[in-house]
Structure 1
Amino acid sequence: MFDANQFFKDRFSSHMKEISRYLRYIFTGHLVIAMLFFVSALAYYYQQWLTNMPENFPAALVIGVVFGVIAAYSPARTLLKEADMVFLLPAETKMGPYFRNAFIYSFVIQLYLLALAAAALAPLYHAARTEIGGPAYSLILLLFVLFKIWNLAASWWVLKVRDANLRMLDFISRMVLNIAAFYFFVSGENLLAGFATLLLAAIFGYDYYLSRKNGGLAWDLLIEKDNARMRSFYRLANMFTDVPHLKNQVKKRHWLVALLLKRMPLQQDRTFAYLYRITTVRSSDYLGLYLRLLIIGGLAAFFVPNIWVKIIFCLLFLYLSGFQLTSLWQHHRTVVWLDLYPVKPEWRSAALLRWMLQLMLAQTFLFGLLFLFMQLFTGLLIVWAAGAAFSYWFVNGYVKKQLA
């Protein structure tokens, strides 16, 4: 007899073993030390900024946006696999306890976001409370948890709808109303907050109506969503260790590929230079991470007041970008054609080192332009000089030894 509770326990146990296997590598890497330095420095300057916070700073809007987005983003984890579409379909009517447990698991694993946001914004709220006159912070947190549960339920209900546009419209509507409800509640506008909550409840009711109307589960959609989230985790883990079963997604990005390859000569010794360029652009792993680190590093350097800490942040994010780009070497490890190319083996490592150096120097140049915008000319010269020296050492020292 099929036992849905036991089946979830077995699937959950297998899932946790898979996750913990890679978490060991993530939380023992030297990348974590760099990130701890980053968070510690931000926390210090955040506290310093709070003591001199401008009187007209929109604290209620910031809290409303952060809490609203986190509450609205509530993906439901099901731990389903592709084979379940065939073997579990006959037991769909008995899967109620399984999905109830999956709902609880989805809520629990997202509590860390709620805790981080609550801890980060508590000092801001208490510093601005005398001006905005909002309720006790504990009431806001209670509302935060309740909204998270409601949004998670709505996310589950709407997964029975196959229209992607309707699901996106539902998410955007819920996010806007969540932000409005939190903003008005934090600002002490209880009547407007109640009105936004009523509109949000209407959307929840409509989502429930759609789930009842559509009846059966969209197994393929549930599996696709779960696989997408696991791919995101595997991409993170792949920065620290080899993930053999990582499935990479490829995006064409014709205009960017054409821009990078426009002046590249079609020569035999440039084979791997061509390969690594299009891999960086078309893979879902590298370009997004490179740009995100560039933006986050730039924002950190812009808002931190001390010039030397600005420089340290630029070098830190330069290191993080270079560290992540080293996984390009293993990206094509399962492609047998690379061993069949009529090219010299040393061309491959030379191409990767050259491409990594170019990317890191480009990031250094952009960080320098940020100092130019802030009219910190001393910082500009130091970042360009130190960034170029660090990039050269990192690529031709550290990375070259790893490829040997």
Structure 2
Amino acid sequence: MEEIWKTRKERYQKQQLKYLRYVFNDNFVLALFFLFGGLAYAYADFLKALPLASGHWIFKLTLALVLWLGLFLGKFASLLQEADVVFLSPLDYQMVTYLNLAAKSSLPLALAGQFLVWICALPFIVTAVGFSYGQSLVFLFVTATLKILYHNFALQAHYYPKFQTVTYRWGLRILALAILISFVTFIPLGILLLFGLILVLALSKRQMTKHLFAWNYAVAIEAQRQMGLYRLYNLFTDVPMVKSSVKRRKYLDIFLRGQSPYAYLFVRGFARKEEYANLWLRLTMLTFVITLFIDNGWLAGLIAVLFYYMLALQLLPLSKRYDEIVFTHLYPLDTTVKKKDLTKLLQKVMALSAFIMALGVGLGSQSWAFGGGVLVVLILLNQGLLKHLIARKVGD
């Protein structure tokens, strides 16, 4: 089992590094740099506006909710595959060893997530809630303990059918929230609940091996976890594991009319392919939400321009989508028609993005002058830069 786990872990890490190279490309890293800078600036302004060390109940409840949401970061990764139901089922009695290796491997990353959440919440804990830096370490200890218990629960769920139910999972999550609220308001109650949870999971672990290993559940829950990662990677590059289906909807044809063959192909390729339409929608709405919470108009505008440029670059591969179809080369159409039709389509969708992003800047900064200025800049980019990028891409 140790050899199987080692092999799978190495293969899985290589696969993740392969896709992470596409996620953290130069443009995205630059955008993240300005994004985190903007959020940090807004966070600092938010803390300055709060009454110092007031310890109001709403601040305590907010702290408990933030730490509780942080528990959802970092899931138990078993790396089990569908074929294991057949080929590893004779080794059912050794699966505890395999799962323990999986827990030890995935737990450090999960604990790192809890540490980052605690670091981000630390200024709020000291400024608004009123705890000292030393007292704040209690919350780091509690969240780390709860995360370890979560991993033990996920491991035991491979054997206990009752642990696999939605009711039981949400019951555990609500109990974790109650523990965090107790530590913020009345620490003795929180300690009592935490030790009670530890005792229950310790007793259930002693009886775990008396149950059969739930192969179908184990494979399904791991496939669900990995699919969440693949969908994230699919925003930046093609992921073969993410498959989508296409359904014919004639009533939408009125919005997908094209006057030439290339216009017909591009408009449908954009609407039907997840990597274009979904990417455009998600990045546009993400930029809107981010700028909505930044009251500094200059910073929000800069973030909007960066995300707009990044979105334009992500949509440019649409120009190559039909190059491998032989009929696009046989049909007597000049490349200028291709450039014109692609430019017309992308200018329309990017103009809509420009309006939504500028609206976010205007609402966030509470200044329509900033929103209007950003809209003008984005429209100029739409008319000038986009044409240049498409001409260079299609000309390759």
Normalising by structure 1, report the TM-score.
0.78
Q: Does 1:378 align with 2:369?
A: yes
> Given the alignment, which residue of 355, 364, 367 partners 2:357?
367
CA distance in 2, matches of 1:107, 1:178: 18
Q: Tell me if structure 1 keeps the 8 A contact 2:266–2:318.
A: no
Where do residues 162-201 of structure 1 align in structure 2 (5 Å cutoff)? 167-186=165-184, 188-193=185-190, 197=194
Q: Tell me if structure 2 keeps the 8 A contact 1:161–1:210.
A: no
Q: Does 1:123 align with 2:120?
A: no
Amino acid paired to 1:96: V
Amino acid paired to 2:31: A
Flag the 1:127–1:15 CA change in 2: closer, same or farther, 3 A.
same
CA distance in 2, matches of 1:385, 1:49: 30
| Aligned counterpart, 1:157 | 156
Amino acid paired to 1:272: L
Partner SS for 2:71:
helix
Amino acid paired to 1:11: R
Q: Does 1:223 align with 2:210?
A: no
Partner SS for 2:300:
helix
Q: Give % identity.
A: 19
| Aligned counterpart, 1:90 | 90
Count how many residue pairs are aligned between Structure 1 and Structure 2: 387
> Structure 2 regions of 5+ residues with no counterpart?
none
| Aligned counterpart, 1:110 | 110
| Aligned counterpart, 1:147 | 146
Flag the 1:139–1:382 CA change in 2: closer, same or farther, 3 A.
same
Amino acid paired to 1:376: S
> Structure 1 regions of 5+ residues with no counterpart?
none
| Aligned counterpart, 2:8 | 11
Flag the 1:184–1:313 CA change in 2: closer, same or farther, 3 A.
farther
Amino acid paired to 2:386: V
Amino acid paired to 2:175: L
CA distance in 1, matches of 2:390, 2:102: 42
Partner SS for 1:361:
helix
CA distance in 1, matches of 2:46, 2:267: 47
Shift of 1:125: 0.7
| Aligned counterpart, 2:256 | 264
CA distance in 2, matches of 1:331, 1:66: 43
CA distance in 1, matches of 2:247, 2:162: 25
Shift of 1:248: 2.4
Normalising by structure 2, report the TM-score.
0.80
Bigger-Rg structure (1/2): 2
Q: Tell me if structure 2 keeps the 8 A contact 1:307–1:379.
A: yes
Shift of 1:383: 1.8
Shift of 1:229: 3.9
CA distance in 1, matches of 2:391, 2:58: 49
CA distance in 2, matches of 1:196, 1:332: 60
CA distance in 2, matches of 1:155, 1:71: 13
Partner SS for 2:255:
coil
CA distance in 2, matches of 1:332, 1:323: 18
Deviations 1:273-332 (A, max 9, x none): 34224324xx3x555554443444233323323221121122233233334334555778
Shift of 1:147: 0.2
Shift of 1:400: 4.2
| Aligned counterpart, 1:138 | 137
Partner SS for 2:393:
helix
> Given the alignment, which residue of 272, 293, 312 partners 2:302?
312
Q: Tell me if structure 2 keeps the 8 A contact 1:301–1:314.
A: yes
Amino acid paired to 1:95: M
Flag the 1:208–1:289 CA change in 2: closer, same or farther, 3 A.
farther
Partner SS for 1:82:
coil
Shift of 1:128: 1.8
Q: Tell me if structure 2 keeps the 8 A contact 1:74–1:152.
A: no
Flag the 1:325–1:105 CA change in 2: closer, same or farther, 3 A.
farther
Flag the 1:314–1:26 CA change in 2: closer, same or farther, 3 A.
closer
Shift of 1:37: 1.9
Where do residues 42-61 of structure 1 align in structure 2 (5 Å cutoff)? 42-54=39-51, 58-61=58-61
| Aligned counterpart, 1:275 | 268
CA distance in 2, matches of 1:253, 1:170: 37
Q: Tell me if structure 1 keeps the 8 A contact 2:267–2:345.
A: no
Where do residues 65-76 of structure 1 align in structure 2 (5 Å cutoff)? 65-72=65-72, 74-76=74-76
> Given the alignment, which residue of 315, 324, 327 partners 1:325?
315
Flag the 1:259–1:394 CA change in 2: closer, same or farther, 3 A.
farther
